[in-house]
Structure 1
């Protein structure tokens, strides 16, 4: 199984094929694979090989598959397994039944390779649900200090006014204190933040007094908080941190 050593928020996983075998031999295999197969685009010339690669990329560490989007996994595990399984493309349109049978063979072979040489993966999960913003907004001293820091270097006109276009930059400066990722780091969060900034007409270029600018920043954070409380954003990432070698099985022994 994929046994883990938690290092909040990172979990070190030992992927050794057991979870993958359990998945492909489990009761949900056909239903889940049928769904993934139905979601595949099938342009002319698409092969069984390509379909299998694309679906392997959809499997997660929870199903016992290391991230096949990583070059090492793709070249040393996925492609080598496909070659050893001698996957043959079919002249006629690929049926779901054929795909399920062929995919199971390949996945079983991948699991066997993982059993012989486990792969160590760093798994990270994070959920943005607005609690960091709530803590900041609830601490007036910390909030005032954070707003002062975010605006102290803001370009001002001769009357001390700040362009609303700087709201995005100021929000990015506040992000660490509010438990938010940097703008541009997580697409899903960028969408939430972008929608709120749009609601506030943040890009209209109007000049506002510093106090009003800070008030707008506070309102933006409050709106983002409400959005995240209603619909949290969860993200996860997986990175191979140890490529297998002969003694890899001794690094993280399976839990009993």
Structure 2
């Protein structure tokens, strides 16, 4: 996915519990957590503690929560807060929306305290796929032909110099970085757009075609992807905990928003 995100800046965030405290004491807390609770209940969480853990996994740096996919965050920030809370409470009590909201807030207060004592540094990046990269490529015939020719170098041909349409996806993946797209399989929403584009140009019926027709099909696929993304841009974000000290980190840190 790095190829699709390489042009996007990385912001260094210092997660120190302040944003989390503001969230749990702010006006949007109950509405957002009720929505999360309803999602969790459909996931068949079996205990109040499971609900709390799952809820933290659904929160983001925008809420002041570092990535819960990071083992250090779990073992040093989340688990100690859960342990402290469970020592004083009946974790097996019946799960309801009311008990969840009350319990989560108590654990979140402990998490915020842990973050104040052990701030977490997070590298945050955002990327929006709006079709502009494809538009630039399609408007430059020289660059388009160059990208397609490079991508077609390894596509096998039969005795009549024809190639199978089954290689369209493989060729698209080679062209993707030049079109400002992530690798196939890296972003689920983009994969759906690609699949729709293949259906629109009837590219899923494998047959042998000449090189010119192969290029024409690929160009049509790119055009279809571009139109879909122009109409409905797809934004994604990436967050990674920084475990190594940053050189002159004090000048790089920016508070999360």
TM-score exceeds 0.5:
yes
How far is 1:204 from its partner? 2.1
- Aligned residue in 1 for 2:3: none
> Does residue 9 of structure 1 match 2:9?
yes
Counterpart of 1:168 in structure 2 is: 169
Match of 2:223 in 1: 222
Whether contact under 8 Å (1:10, 1:122) holds in the other structure is: yes
* Aligned counterparts, 1:186-225, within 5 A: 186-225=187-226
Aligned position for 2:122: 121
- Relative to the length of structure 2, the TM-score reads 0.88
Q: Provide the secondary structure at the position in 1 that maps to 2:41.
A: coil
Structure 2 counterpart SS, 1:41: helix
Q: Which blocks of at least 5 consecutive residues in structure 1 are unaligned? A: 1-6
Secondary structure at the residue paired with 1:191? helix
Deviations 1:203-231 (A, max 9, x none): 32211111111111111100000010011
Distance 1:127 1:102, change over 3 A: same
Q: Give the 3-state SS of the residue equivalent to 2:235 in structure 1.
A: strand
**Distance change >3 Å, CA 40–CA 120, structure 1 → 2:** same
Rounded Cα–Cα distance in structure 2 between residues aligned with 1:240 and 1:195: 35
Instruction: Write the distance in 1 (CA, Å) between the matches of 2:115 and 2:252.
Output: 14
2:31 aligns to what? 31
Name which of structure 1's ranges 129-138 and 39-48 shifts more when overlaid on structure 2.
Answer: 39-48
TM-score, normalised with respect to structure 1? 0.89
Distance between the aligned counterparts of 1:216 and 1:43, measured in 2?
42
Give SS of 2:11's match: strand
Tell me the distance in 2 between the aligned counterparts of 1:36 and 1:243. Answer: 33
Aligned position for 1:105: 106
Offset at residue 116 of structure 1 (A): 1.2
2:108 aligned with 1:140, yes or no?
A: no
Q: Which residue of structure 2 aligns with residue 3 of structure 1?
A: none
Tell me what 1:63 maps to: 63
Aligned length: 245
Superposition misfits of 4+ residues, deviation over 4 angstroms:
42-45, 249-255
Question: In 2, distance between residues paired with 1:83 and 1:253?
Answer: 30
Structure 2 vs 1, CA of residues 43 and 149 (structure 1 numbering), >3 Å: closer, same or farther?
Answer: closer
Secondary structure of 1:235's counterpart equals strand
**Structure 1 residues 149-186: Cα deviation after superposition (integer angstroms, max 9, x where no partner):** 12122111111111111111111111111001111111
Which sits farther off after the overlay, 71-80 or 207-216? 71-80
Q: 1:155 to 1:44 in 2, by over 3 A?
A: closer
Determine the C-alpha separation between the residues in 2 that align with 1:231 and 1:191.
12
Q: Is the 8 A contact 1:40 1:51 kept in 2?
A: yes
Unmatched tracts of structure 2, length 5 or more: 1-6
Moved more, 196-205 or 159-168: 196-205
Residues 8, 127 of structure 2: 8 Å contact kept:
no
Superposed CA RMSD: 2.2
